[in-house]
Amino acid sequence: MRPVIGLPVCQQDGKQQFVTQTYLNAVTDSGGLPLLLPLLPDQISSDTYLKLCDGFLFCGGGDITPLLFGQEPLTSRGTTDLAMDRFHLDLMTQALESQKPILAICRGMQVMNVALGGSLFQDLSLRPLSSLSHMQPSLLRSDPSHTITLQKHSMLSDILGDTAYVNSFHHQCIDRPGRNLRVTAQASDGVIEAIEQNRHPFAIGVQWHPECLYHSQPSMKKLFTGLVNASAGIVP
């Protein structure tokens, strides 16, 4: 039986809740069964979602409400959704505690960081250092945009090696990493591009979008097969 990978919906517009197709493809192509997890009123669902799923994939989406990491709003860029934020943070907190495998992409990585008490730069322009353009203008989301350097002896360097080419669709980034989080990849401007939680069997956050890259860069698929295998109880 395929391991069940829970995907909390990443966006809603009042009439629809959805997950982008590329995330479903990445899980299916890697041997998992994607299960979409809707946002329901009053967080009645997280306990059940946790029992139903063997692992979790947290997807990209909007910005996290700054109040949730202790800041006043400093930029009008991006959109926020407080109910979605609370849903994701609650489920992430429980998933981390459960030790079930988690791959967190883009906003998902930021959710992992905030769930563990970390903070974000609300916009890259608010960093004290100058930043690369992390919102790539290419027509195809599968085009690489910038390089990253990986920390040795990390789960991610075991998967990708010392350096990698990644795509980039974010205007925010991690400022202060949360509890027990190790920074395992950075761009050349120092922007944090990946995190892993210490003493967790598989909790990886990446700022880029591997679900758009794995056809052209097969090594990126190992992030998803790693998630699915860990969710099946196979130790990497």
Q: Which of these ranges, 66-74, 78-86, 168-176, 209-217, lies near Mn ion under the rule CB under 5 A? A: 168-176
Q: Applying CB under 5 A, which of residues 134, 171, 209, 221 lies at the interface with Mn ion?
A: 134
Side-chain-side CA neighbours of 160 within 13 Å: the count stands at: 28
Exposure string of 91-120, with b = 16+ CB inside 10 Å and e = fewer, is: bbbbbbeeebbbbbbbbbbbbbbbbbebbb
By the rule CB under 5 A, 168 interacts with Mn ion: yes
Nearest of 38, 65, 80, 35 to residue 53 by alpha carbon: 35
Q: How far is the CB of 128 from Mn ion (least distance, A)?
A: 18
CB nearer to Mn ion: give 155 or 194: 194
Question: Active site includes 215?
Answer: no
Residue in the block written with tokens 């479903």: 24
Question: What is the smallest separation between the CB atom of 138 and Mn ion, expressed in angstroms?
Answer: 13
10 counts as catalytic: no
- Is the CB of 6 or the CB of 61 nearer to Mn ion? 61
Residue (171 or 200) nearer to Mn ion, CB: 171
Number of residues that bind Mn ion (CB under 5 A): 2
**Which of 10, 106, 173, 212 is the catalytic position?**
106
Rounded Cα gap, residues 39 and 12, in angstroms? 9
Residue with tokens 């990126």: 220
211 classed as catalytic:
yes
